[in-house]
Amino acid sequence: MADAFSLPMAEIAMLLGEGKMKARALAEEAIANHERFGPKLMAYSQWAPEQARKCADAADAAFAVGSRAGSLQGIPTSIKDLFAVAGFPTYAGSPRRLPPKFESDGPLVASLRAQLATVMGKTHMVEFAFGGTGQNAHYGSPWNPWDATAHRSPGGSSSGAGISLCEGSALLAFGTDTAASVRLPASMTGNAGLKLTKGRWSTEGIVQLSFTLDTPGILARSMADAAFGFAALDPDLGDGFAFLRGVPDSVDGIRIGIADPWFWESCENGIGDAVRRAIDALARAGAVVKEAPLPEARDVFALYLEGGLSGIELRAFLDQELPDWLATIDPVNAPALRNAENLSAREYLSRLLRMLEAAKSAAARFGHVDVIATPTVMFTPHIITGEASAEQFWQHNRNIVHNLMPANYLGLCTATVPVGLDRLGMPVGLQLIAKGGDDERLVAIACAAERVLGTPREILGAPPMCRG
């Protein structure tokens, strides 16, 4: 079947199960797509076509005898190199291979393997996930495929994840989100992204950045695909087909809150207008739209600007597990990690308590709305230059995580869906934020919104570097 990657994941899974499509043929299409588009885009740090073929053959052999291991059987998947995957080394974006203890599958990867998904390889990332720009001093920076002339940021820290979807080498991409790192690359590359409530999915088998904030997540070509993957991987659900059947056909009666101006006032290149048009379309389709302030976002962003929690928690992890790694850390990150040793326990605990208090207050904001809507990212992906100073690097980072990191600090769950292009032709995302613990409801609402607004492929088309 030509261009299987144009089909929804649920339809592909159904065709595989019925024997009308072969997992090996799907893997070969993924491999061909990567060979065609991938050399410049740099989605993968470890590209594994032979491993993918073996996975696909195992899926086909199981299908042939009527065995269904799970909804993701035969589905091409990319995995961020922060995840341990047996048979693959783990570098976590660093220049050295981590010890063997970081190469054993955690529950999420184990579930993927048990379902006989096709693992295409491990994707590029920011070193130890500490940063959102997508840059990596050791390996170079992946290229956002939406600009064929300028090397723009693909978002990070899961920098290769969204690109693997754009080039057609994966249908589902594993990422992690500590302050933005699933939703940011998803939005910047025109894909859907899902950050679950902290604790919903285990972080076992994932190299730590922040034990307080780390959350596994997924990126997909559409929210329907993300929902299918979410249900297939979630221990409480386990069936992508059943979950999608339960998604409402309309947004009629869904209560959407418009976030306060803090989330909008710095939008550039028509980003805010594109998001407001999408919200207006949802209102015309029956959604109930009202104002929904979230002042706690300002509070935790101020906390983030003070240094937050990630730097000191990463430093503690390195001191305990990889004590000689600090010498080779990316130069733009090294000062922050070295300075973290000067943070007192009193100040660290004060920040933690301030965060918990803000999260408690924020949870009460969802009594009159189902979700709060914001632009996912207020800024067009910046052009990556080798001359950028550490201060310029961190200014870009602060800008692009502005609307994203509050959800992590406030214990909320969020999704992003593409809604258009900005004036420079780069993707624009709509972020939907829900109360912590409302993950299934959030995903259902985001899917319903996508049914009204259209899929990314319908709205955006293909990235310029992945056409023809």
Q: Per residue, what are the HEC states of 321-353?
A: HCCCHHHHCCCCCHHHHHHHHHCCHHHHHHHHH
Tokens of 321: 């597990």
- Find the catalytic residue in 111, 141, 153, 157: 157
Q: Are strands 76-80 and 172-176 parallel, antiparallel or unpaired?
A: parallel
The candidate with the shortest Cα–Cα distance to 122, out of 162, 77, 56, 154, is 77
Active site residue 80: yes
Q: Are 380 and 272 in contact (CB under 8 A)?
A: no
181 counts as catalytic: yes
Active-site residue (options: 141, 153, 159, 181): 181
DSSP string, 28-59: HHHHHHHHHHHHHH--EEEE-HHHHHHHHHHH
The secondary element (H helix, E strand) that includes residue 76 is strand 76-80
> Does residue 153 have an active-site annotation?
no
CA 238, CA 201: separation in Å to the nearest integer? 13
Which residue, among 302, 334, 362, has the nearest Cα to 138 in the 3D structure? 334
Q: Find all residues with CB under 8 Å of 191, minimum gap 6, and list them.
A: 162, 165, 166, 173, 185, 219, 220, 221, 418, 456
Residues 6+ apart with CB under 8 A from 200: 215, 234, 413, 439
Token pair, residue 200, equals: 């919903």
CA distances from 433 to 172, 363, 415 (A): 22, 11, 7
| Concatenated DSSP letters of 183-207 | HHHHHHTT-EEEEPPTTSS--TTB-
SS3 289: strand
CB 367 within 8 A of CB 135: no
Which residue among 22, 45, 80, 158 is the active-site one? 80
Active-site residue set = 80, 157, 181
